[in-house]
Amino acid sequence: MSILGTRVLRTEDPGFLTTGAVYTEDVQDERLAGACHVHFVRSTVAHARINGIDVSAARDADGVVAVYTGTDLAAAGLEPLPPMMPNMNQAMVMPLLATDVVRFVGEPVAAVVTEEPYQGEDAIELVDVDYEPLPAVVDPVAAKEGQTGLLFPAAGTNVVVKFGDEAALDAALFEGCEVVVSKTIVNQRVAPAPMESRAAAAVWGEDGRLIAWIPNQGAQGTKAAIAGMLGLEPDRVRVITPDVGGAFGAKFGADPEQAVVCWIAGQLKRPARWTETRNENLLAMTHGRAQQQTVTIGGSKDGTITAYRLEILQDSGAYPKAGAFLPMLTRLMAPGPYAIPRAEAATISVVTNTTPVGAYRGAGRPEAAAAIDRAVDLFAAEAGVDPAEVRRKNLLPKFTEPHQTAFGAVYDSGDYVAALDAALEAADYEGLRAEQRKRRESGDTLQLGIGLSSYVEITGPGGEAGGPNENSTVEVHPDGTATILTGTSPHGQGHSTVWAMLASEELGIPIEKITVKWGDTDLVPRGGGTGGSRSLQLGGAAVRQASRELLDVARERAAATLEASAADLVYDIDASAFTVKGDPDANVPLAKLAEAERLFVHTVFTAPGPTFPFGTHVAVVEVDTETGKVFLRRMVTVDDAGTVINPLLAEGQRHGGIAQGAAQAFLEEIVYDTDGNPLTATFADYPFLSATEVPSFELVDSQTPTSYNPLGAKGIGEAGTIGATPAVQNAVIDAVSHLGVRHIDMPTSPQRVWRAISESRDA
Ligand code: MCN
């Protein structure tokens, strides 16, 4: 019986639950013995000129080994970094430590090195930075127009990059539409807030090579980032990935602090370590989302959509990182699963005096789904047609051959109407509407809201020549165990379990005898890491391919051993041995074939393109019309990620994703005041979602295999986040729509909901 598709328990968990994980802060390694500890002095103002930094008192403080500023880095030849893409404004450079100007609260300004970790907390207080405040640019609209000044005068603008030409938007796009609605909505800034904050441990070897332990999503990318920031030949850097306590998109590559820790270890010729506090994490780890979207949607009164426009203003924060680029993905996915004859999108990314924005679970695609699904509901309300009906009318019909959208995305396969119908049926949509009518008629203060989102997203993207790809090595050892090396980098997704399942399926070796390794760049020099929900469809497919190729190699060896023709051999998977057809006594175990010579295969799997998972989410909320408080009561979801290899893990990914997506809709938000002071830099202020705010989710099974990889699998890691946000937001608005409310920005906090109800009553 196949092990694939079964609910194999996570092999990672016994360790996590007993001895515990080994995060970067916990790494015990003799090479790190006697390490000093790095602490960062961070800017307390959003925008200021630095007139001087006095480090003398800090230098004299107890236990202080050294203090470094940007001037020291510049003297060592470390140049500020240009933005990641050549089409971004190259004058918007980021120093590792601020030199002449600070551009956000939390920006590292100096590094204090101490003998003991606790000494650093006191010593950083002694660094005296002379700030001369400059006007803070916090509102992205003001930033775009250059009203409050420029973050980088040499750039001549606050605009980093544009995707799609706003000047080319068609003035006649909505001509002939009976119904047109336009609305500017906010896809607010949120914090990735992984349980493990950022950290680094670094040491330079006698051979002049750097070894850096850094929590990351792909050691190879982290190595390239560290080498780039320090101006080193990549060969001189080795990155090792300890256990990673969540990343959610924000631990790709490396951050300036991590490069500085590596540099300090070199300067002092002594290992150095750093772990940030939660407050630092909320201040200075990249944030996510942060888009202002103007949606315009038009069509006929019967609910047919004919035109859609999406205009995006992306707040990239103080330095252009991945966040500045993500609107490209939002634009690519703008029409979502709908067949809209005329659609266009244009995006502008700007810098502001706030924390830089990066990838956050879904990275660009949840923003697209939120925009179109909010627009569809606005349109449905205006046309007076049920939102489920509008969706059914406008979803692309089922397709099995690739479908190219006006924005150039090539959807591999999909059956969006089936997903909608399955979700509506599982939720008892008609019954919910009846219950809603009853409550409205009785004037109940607890009103029911039903929200929908039909989404399609892109997973496993990649611009590699030949197509998105990933490598794997599978080796069988003489003792009957096996080792898998993978270029992916799990940090909660359970690759050890599933990669072992995939190899076991081919080789017959039990999963408990298979070890999966990743994240050490000396061991696995190449790899794309884990992000964009790419791992199973590329990395998992590579494991299967390597296992099959290994059997080919082994078959030749077995033929020689058994003095038979390779074609006459059968592989007995239950015994993990080759036997000669018709002569079961003539056999040789796979493990034996590894005795004389190592038995391993390294391979690269290449896909024809990314895949496009899809689904429908139905959210049911209760809204207290007197207080504005929202209670999430049900989440019924169809998330079709093709063939599911381990339902337990895939469902776990959906659970986590749905919770995060829902949290954005009704709870979480990073807030700044008008001077750029962060108001949500602790978990007392940032309302991090916990299990008490969400119900048990009702997951409907749906599997439409893709032909893009032999597993038939698409990605599931981000799907929950993509569907849940618009479904929950739409549900909250639906709950109070009979009171005249048409829109409430996220998060739908009690205050916002209450205000929307009051304003509409007054009107
Ligand atoms: N899976 C499956 N069948 C499928 C698809 C996936 O059984 N058809 C399984 C895979 O084997 C894997 C898991 O589900 O164990 C997720 O696989 P995949 O969809 O390939 O996604 P990735 O492993 O590439 O994970 C990336 C994705 C991203 S981009 C973010 S962000 C994210 C997420 O995963 N961050 C997470 N999930 C997270 N989960 C945890 N606990 N922590 C994070 O930081």
DSSP string, 714-739: ---TTHHHHHHHHHHHHHHHHHTGGG
Q: What's the CA-to-centroid distance between 250 and ligand 1, angstroms?
A: 15
Identify each DSSP E strand in 479-582 by its residue range. 482-486, 514-517, 569-572, 577-580
Please identify, by atom number, the ligand 1 atom nearest to the C-alpha of residue 494. Answer: 15
533 Cα to the center of ligand 1, angstroms: 6
Give distance in angstroms: CA of 658 to centre of ligand 1. 13
**How many whole angstroms from 716 Cα to the centroid of ligand 1?**
6
What contacts 442, CB < 8 A, 6 or more positions away?
none
Is residue 327 within 8 Å of 187, Cβ to Cβ? Answer: no
Residue 196 Cα to ligand 1 middle (Å): 18
Report CA(490)–ligand 1 centroid distance (Å).
8
Dihedral sign (CA 59, 62, 65, 67): negative
Nearest partner of 544 among 604, 460, 609, 493, judged by Cα: 604
Residue having the nearest C-alpha atom to atom 27 of ligand 1? 717
Tell me, in angstroms, the distance from the centre of ligand 1 to residue 653's CA.
6
pLDDT for position 165: 83
Percent share of the chain, pLDDT over 90: 96
Helix (H) or strand (E) holding 181: strand 179-190
The SS3 assignment for 451 reads: strand
With the most atoms of ligand 1 within 8 angstroms of its CB, the residue from 716, 718, 721 to mutate is 716
632 Cα–ligand 1 center, Å: 25
| pLDDT band at residue 302 under the 50/70/90 scheme | very high
Q: Which of 756, 679, 723, 719 is nearest to 189 (CA)?
A: 679
| Whole-number Å distance between alpha carbons of 529 and 539 | 9
Nearest CA to ligand 1 atom 10: 536
Nearest residue to 230 (alpha-carbon basis) of 60, 431, 120, 80: 80
Structural contact between residues 753 and 744, judged by C-beta atoms closer than 8 angstroms? yes
> Tokens 């009051």 belong to which residue?
758
- Where do the H-state alpha helices sit in 352-409? 365-383, 387-394
For residue 217, report the distance from its CA to the centre of ligand 1, in Å. 12
Cα gap 181→184, rounded to integer Å? 10
From atom 29 of ligand 1, which residue's Cα is the shortest distance away? Answer: 531
Cα–Cα dist 297/265, whole Å: 56
pLDDT of residue 209: 98
| φ and ψ at residue 736, rounded to 5 degrees | -120, 15
Ligand 1 centroid to Cα of residue 249, in Å, is 11
Which numbered atom of ligand 1 lies nearest the CA of 492?
41
Beta bridge partners of 189: 289
pLDDT digit string, tens, across residues 424-473? 999 999 999 999 999 999 999 999 999 999 999 999 998 778 899 999 99
Q: Which two tokens stand for residue 486?
A: 């993978």
Name the residue at shortest CA distance from atom 32 of ligand 1: 248
CA 715 to ligand 1: nearest atom: 19
Atom of ligand 1 at shortest range from CA of 459: 19
Q: Which ligand 1 atom sits closest to the C-alpha of 657?
A: 37
Residue with tokens 């709950």: 735
- For ligand 1, atom 40, name the residue with the nearest CA: 492
Rounded average pLDDT over 654-668: 97
Does this model's pTM top 0.85? yes
The one-character DSSP state at 395 is: B
pLDDT value of position 322: 96
Q: Give the residue from 221, 472, 584, 471 showing the smallest Cα distance to 212.
A: 221
- Ligand 1 atom with the smallest distance to the CA of 647 is 7
Q: What spacing in Å lies between the alpha carbon of 532 and ligand 1's midpoint?
A: 9
In this structure, the residue with its CA closest to atom 41 of ligand 1 is 492
Cα 457 to ligand 1 centre (Å): 14
Residue with CA closest to ligand 1 atom 12: 493
- Mean residue pLDDT across the chain: 97
Nearest to 94 by CA among 160, 147, 40: 160
Whose alpha carbon is nearest atom 26 of ligand 1? 533
- Cα separation, 719 vs 25, whole angstroms: 31
Structure tokens given for 601: 């295969």
Atom of ligand 1 nearest to the CA of 497: 15
Q: What is the DSSP letter of 132?
A: E
Which pLDDT value is given to residue 337?
A: 98
Distance of CA 568 to the CA centre of its chain: 48
Instruction: Encode pLDDT of 590-638 as tens digits.
Output: 999 999 999 999 999 999 999 999 999 999 999 999 999 999 999 999 9
> What tens digit of pLDDT does each residue of 169-215 get?
888 999 999 999 999 999 999 999 999 999 999 999 999 999 999 99
Residue 194 CA, closest ligand 1 atom number: 44
Q: CA–CA separation, 630 vs 617, rounded Å?
A: 18
| pLDDT score of 373 | 98
Quick one: pLDDT at residue 146?
84
Per-residue pLDDT, 185: 98
Distance 81 CA to ligand 1 centre (A): 31
Q: Using an 8 Å Cβ cutoff, are 658 and 719 in contact?
A: no
* pLDDT bracket for residue 166 (50, 70, 90): confident
Distance in Å, CA 359 to ligand 1 centroid? 15
Please state the atom number of ligand 1 nearest to the C-alpha of residue 532.
29
From the CA of 714, give the closest atom in ligand 1. 8
Closest ligand 1 atom to the C-alpha of 645?
7
Average pLDDT over residues 505-533: 98
Residue 535 CA to ligand 1 center (angstroms) comes to 7
Q: Is 402 exposed, middle or buried (0-12, 13-18, 19+ CB in 10 A)?
A: middle
Ligand 1 pocket test, pick from 248, 360, 493, 534 with the greatest ligand atom count within 8 Å of Cβ, gives: 493
**Best of 486, 640, 653 to mutate for ligand 1, by most ligand atoms within 8 A of CB?**
653
CB 397 within 8 A of CB 417: yes
Which domains, and CATH codes, for the chain? Answer: 1-30+198-275 (3.30.365.10), 34-134 (3.90.1170.50), 291-459+610-762 (3.30.365.10), 469-606 (3.30.365.10)
Q: What is the pLDDT of residues 361-382, one digit of tens each?
A: 999 999 999 999 999 999 999 9
> What mean pLDDT do residues 96-103 have?
97
With H, G, I as helix, E, B as strand and everything else as coil, classify residue 43: coil
Q: Which atom of ligand 1 is nearest to the CA of 539?
A: 20
Q: How far is the CA of 59 from the centre of ligand 1 (A)?
A: 46
Q: How far apart are the first and last CA of the chain?
A: 65
> Which helix (DSSP H) or strand (DSSP E) does residue 542 occupy?
helix 541-562
- Report whether 309 contacts 343 (CB < 8 A): yes
Atom 21 (ligand 1) nearest CA: 533
> What pLDDT score does 291 carry?
98
CB 657, CB 673: distance < 8 Å: no
Which residues make Cβ contacts (< 8 Å) with residue 162, sequence separation at least 6?
Answer: 346, 347, 348, 349
What's the rounded Cα separation, in Å, for the pair 253 and 258? 10
Task: Return the structure tokens found at 711.
Answer: 């597993």
- Work out the pLDDT band at 577, boundaries 50, 70, 90: very high
**Helix, strand or coil for residue 69?**
strand
In the structure, which protein residues have their CB atom closer than 6 angstroms to any atom of ligand 1?
194, 246-249, 361, 491-495, 498, 530-536, 540, 641-646, 649-650, 653, 656, 713-718
- pLDDT the model gives residue 296: 98
* Main-chain phi, psi angles of 706, to 5 degrees: -95, 155
CB–CB of 270/34 below 8 Å?
A: yes
| CA dist., res. 472 & res. 546, Å (int) | 7
Write down the pLDDT at residue 504. 98
**The ligand 1 atom nearest the CA atom of 703:** 8
Substitution candidate for ligand 1 out of 489, 533, 640, 721 with most atoms within 8 A of CB: 533
Which of 449, 424, 433, 427 lies closest to 622, judged by CA?
Answer: 449
Atom of ligand 1 nearest to the CA of 499: 11
722: how many CB neighbours lie within 10 A of its CB?
33
- Residue 547 CA to ligand 1 centre (angstroms): 22
- Report residue 504 as tokens: 């076991």
Distance 110 CA to ligand 1 centre (A): 37
Q: Look at phi and psi of residue 75 and say left if phi exceeds 0, alpha if psi is from -120 to 50, else beta.
A: alpha
Residue recorded with tokens 């706003």: 166
Whole-angstrom Cα distance, residue 409 to residue 467? 14
Looking at ligand 1, which atom is closest to the CA of residue 531? 29
pLDDT confidence of residue 319: 98
Q: Determine the distance separating the centroid of ligand 1 and the alpha carbon of 493, expressed in angstroms.
A: 5
